[in-house]
Amino acid sequence: MASSPTRRGFLVDLAATASSLVLSAKRAAASDVSAASPRRHKWGMVIDLDRCTGCQACALACRAENNIPVAGPVDTEMGRSIFWMNQLKRSEGTYPDVRQQFLPAPCNHCEDPPCIKVCPVGATTQSDEGITQQIPERCIGCRLCEVSCPYTRRYFNWSEPEWPDALREQLNPDVAVRPHGVIEKCLFCHHRIRKVKDDARVEGRSLTDEDVRRLPACAETCPAEAIVFGDLNDPESEVSRLRESPRAFRLLEELGTHPKVIYLREAKWQE
């Protein structure tokens, strides 16, 4: 890994080299196109806010699945907690005219992600299935992607990940622990996608919507079944059906980032 003077040099030369690095990143992404897939998947997620009850199990399941360390009292107070699946809460109004909203908030996996454009080292790329990936080994911790993400869904590792010995037993062997000093983010549980793809290949069949509908840890645990995952390129999939709902919207659509996380807004009871 680069030592600090070199890294600083990188930052100084950023403007000059950025475009060529982006190109190399794109080449890197193109090279890991998976072998035999009849139709290219485009993974997306629909979150129904009318079903969501704000229980936050999604956030906790994500932490357990992806080996995200507990922030602890000091880092929490400094706002350094990491939640690939976050839960944003917003209260407004004056009692008794109060409103409160919950928003489960994973990475939006934009079709045109601003974070990729600014990475000077190609540490963040888009897979050919539409997942915005992060490669900790390449990341130099400059945090440009963190500030460029309009949704604030990128997290910096402010400290060495630590677990008491007993709790290391729980670590998921499928997910690497990210070191201190790099950015990390939601990856749509791509290790689980790989697993179901392998399983399907072994069984000699192609992936079905049923295989992936509750695949990511957040979707699997959601007691209200508010989170649906699937292939946006498959017109028959649940996510494709739900994105056509009149309640569907995306966050900050006006920015032209084209998020692949689609929300369904809350509805009202009508007599």
Partner 1 sequence: MRYLSRRGMLRALAASGAATAAACRRYGGPTQVTRVPAGWFRGEERRIASTCGQCPAGCGITVRVHEGRAIKIEGTRGHPINGGGLGPKGQAGLQLLYHPDRIRGPLRRDGARGSGRWIQISWDEAIDRLATDLGRLRASGDAEGLVVIDGEPRGPVPRLWDRFLTAYGSPNHVTHLSTSNGANALTMEFMQGIQEMPAYDWANTEYVLGFGTSLFESACQTIHLARASSAMRRGRPGRRVKFVQVSTRFSITAAKADEWLRIKPATYGALALGIAHVLVRDNLYDTDFVRDHTFGFESWRDGHDRAHRGFRDLVLSEYKPESVAHITGVPVETIQRLAREMSAHRPAIALAEGTGTAATNALGTAMAIHSLNALLGSIETQGGVLVRRTTLPSWMPPVELDEIARRGLAATPIDGRNTPACPLGAGSIQFVPEAILSERPYPVRALILYRSNPVFSKPEGGKWVEALQKIPLVVSCSPLPDESTLWADLVLPDHTYLERWEVADPAPSSGMPIIGLRQPVVDARHDTKATGDVIIRLGRALGNGVATAFPWADYREAMTQQLQGIKPDVAALVARMEKTGGWWDEQQFERWDEALATPSRRFEFYSQAIASRLAALFPTDEALEQHLIRHSVVTRGDDLCLPHWEPAQLAGDPREYPFLLDAHRGINYAEGGVRHLPWLRELPAAGLLAWKEIVEINPDDAERLVLHEGDSVVVESPAGKRRFQVRVDPGTAPGTVGLPLGHGPWPVTADDASASAGHGLLVALSDPLAGTFAQHGTRVRVRKEA
Decide if residue 91 touches partner 1 (CB under 8 A).
yes
Least Cβ distance, residue 145 to partner 1 (angstroms): 13
Show the tokens assigned to 250.
Answer: 């995306």
Decide if residue 181 touches partner 1 (CB under 8 A).
yes
126, 116 Cβ separation under 8 angstroms: yes
Least Cβ distance, residue 194 to partner 1 (angstroms): 15
Decide if residue 244 touches partner 1 (CB under 8 A).
no
Instruction: From 119, 152, 107, select the one nearest 28 (Cα to Cα).
Output: 119
Q: Are strands 132-134 and 124-126 parallel, antiparallel or unpaired?
A: antiparallel
86, 68 Cβ separation under 8 angstroms: no
In the region spanning residues 4 to 23, those forming contacts with partner 1, defined by CB under 8 A, are 4, 7-8
Least Cβ distance, residue 247 to partner 1 (angstroms): 10
Decide if residue 24 touches partner 1 (CB under 8 A).
no
Decide if residue 28 touches partner 1 (CB under 8 A).
no
Instruction: From 199, 198, 220, 209, select the one nearest 65 (Cα to Cα).
Output: 220
In the region spanning residues 56 to 75, those forming contacts with partner 1, defined by CB under 8 A, are 56-57, 59-61, 63-65, 70-73
Least Cβ distance, residue 184 to partner 1 (angstroms): 13
Of the candidates 95, 202, 235, 246, which one interacts with partner 1 according to CB under 8 A? 95
What lies within 8 Å, CB to CB, of 170 at 6+ separation is 64
39, 233 Cβ separation under 8 angstroms: yes
CA distance 257 to 259: 6
Of the candidates 109, 214, 243, 260, which one interacts with partner 1 according to CB under 8 A? 214
> Tokens 């000091």 appear where?
74
Instruction: From 101, 124, 100, 106, select the one nearest 61 (Cα to Cα).
Output: 106
- How many Cβ atoms sit within 10 Å of the Cβ of residue 146? 17
Of the candidates 36, 38, 93, 244, which one interacts with partner 1 according to CB under 8 A? 93
Show the tokens assigned to 270.
Answer: 């009508």
Of the candidates 33, 152, 210, 256, which one interacts with partner 1 according to CB under 8 A? 152
Decide if residue 171 touches partner 1 (CB under 8 A).
yes
Task: Classify 26 as helix, strand or coil.
Answer: helix
Taking the least distance from each CB to partner 1, the nearer of 4 and 31 is: 4
Of the candidates 22, 29, 87, 138, which one interacts with partner 1 according to CB under 8 A? 87
Least Cβ distance, residue 79 to partner 1 (angstroms): 4
Least Cβ distance, residue 235 to partner 1 (angstroms): 20
